[in-house]
């Protein structure tokens, strides 16, 4: 989920509450807060903690909430994850440590240490090497999957072979989620369970239908939905996420298009492309 801001760059908690309720009513089983799309690098821990509280209260009984509490500092990640646990959230998204590029053994110990410190909160690993500079390899994921509280991975490497290898090395109950909307269908075919989505802000029911159709064996309907939505999936990454999706939500009136520096405002040509596509899909 995006983090809505006012025009002056402050977190708009009221808009977050409204948007969270809308998403919970429109196909999202769980809301992931303060991940990449939520602009976590420019949020303070206090802002994140308040956002967790506001959204948890808004969607209680409708959807689960997973808190992005990962960090490139293990100690910092533990403290943030403990606070999320104390709020009664459903789980924590733990991104691969960024910038410092730990080796695989360092990654294993990082996640294992967090899991040991907060054993009663499910952890979803988050592999996005294009952002972090380091790839969490399938063999490391398999070792981490042996820990009781490490329940799955958001796999955003864009590598189908890697996702296949993770599926081959982990038990069936270990959940694999696509980190890219356009790869949801291909990853379902190699054993993924769903998607941690950007496009669900706009087409949540259609994405839910795509996944349910595939799981029911109706692969033709799933493919038709995938192809129908593919131009939107691609348009939402015409520039750095979440700039396009915030522009799209602004066109719908949910929040401003404001992102915190250094991301900046959406280019006019991106807004125009989104407007055209959203009109074609009857989203505005």
Spatial CB neighbours of 116, under 8 Å, sequence gap ≥ 6: none
Q: Is 126 a catalytic residue?
A: yes
Residue 124's nearest CA partner among 86, 165, 94 is 94
Peptide bond preceding 242 in cis form (omega within 30 of 0): yes
Structure tokens at 30: 């769980």
Catalytic annotation, pick one of 126, 177, 234, 246: 126
Q: Report the alpha-carbon distance of residue 259 to residue 66 in Å, rounded.
A: 22
**Residue matched to tokens 């602009």:** 39
DSSP code string of 6-43: -TTS-B-HHHHHHHHHHHHHTT-SEEEESSTTTTGGGS
Q: Report the alpha-carbon distance of residue 225 to residue 185 in Å, rounded.
A: 10
- Identify whether the C-beta of residue 28 lies closer than 8 Å to the C-beta of residue 272: no
**Alpha helix (H) ranges present in the chain?**
13-25, 45-59, 74-86, 104-117, 129-132, 138-144, 160-169, 184-189, 200-215, 219-235, 243-252, 268-280
Catalytic annotation, pick one of 108, 154, 177, 246: 154
DSSP code string of 184-224: HHHHHHTT--EE--STHHHHHHHHHHHHHHHHTT-HHHHHH
Give the residue numbers annotated as catalytic, written as ranges.
126, 154
């Amino acid at each position: 989920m995006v983090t809505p801001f006012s025009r002056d760059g402050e977190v708009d908690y009221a808009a977050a509450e409204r948007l969270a309720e809308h998403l919970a009513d429109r196909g999202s089983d769980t809301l992931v807060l303060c991940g990449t799309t939520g602009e976590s690098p420019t949020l303070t821990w206090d802002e994140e903690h308040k956002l967790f509280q506001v959204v948890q209260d808004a969607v209680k009984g409708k959807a689960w909430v997973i808190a992005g509490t990962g960090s490139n500092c293990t100690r910092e990640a533990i403290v943030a994850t403990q606070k999320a646990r104390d709020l009664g959230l459903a789980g924590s998204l733990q991104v691969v440590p960024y910038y410092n590029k730990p080796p695989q053994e360092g990654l294993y110990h990082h996640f294992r240490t967090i899991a040991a410190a907060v054993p009663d909160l499910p952890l979803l690993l988050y592999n996005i090497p294009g952002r972090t500079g380091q790839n969490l390899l399938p063999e490391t994921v398999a070792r981490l999957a042996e820990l009781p509280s490490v329940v799955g991975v958001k796999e955003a490497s864009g590598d189908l072979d890697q996702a296949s290898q993770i599926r081959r090395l982990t038990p069936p109950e270990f959940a694999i989620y696509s980190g890219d909307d356009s790869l949801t269908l291909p990853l379902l075919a190699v054993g993924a369970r769903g998607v941690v989505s950007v496009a669900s802000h706009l087409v949540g029911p259609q994405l839910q239908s795509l996944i349910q159709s595939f799981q029911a064996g109706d692969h033709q309907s799933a493919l038709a939905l995938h192809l129908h939505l593919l131009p939107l999936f691609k348009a939402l990454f015409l520039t750095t996420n979440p700039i396009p999706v915030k522009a799209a939500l602004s066109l719908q009136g949910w929040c401003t298009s404001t992102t915190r520096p250094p991301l900046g405002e959406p280019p006019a040509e991106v807004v125009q492309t989104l407007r055209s596509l959203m009109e074609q899909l009857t989203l505005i």
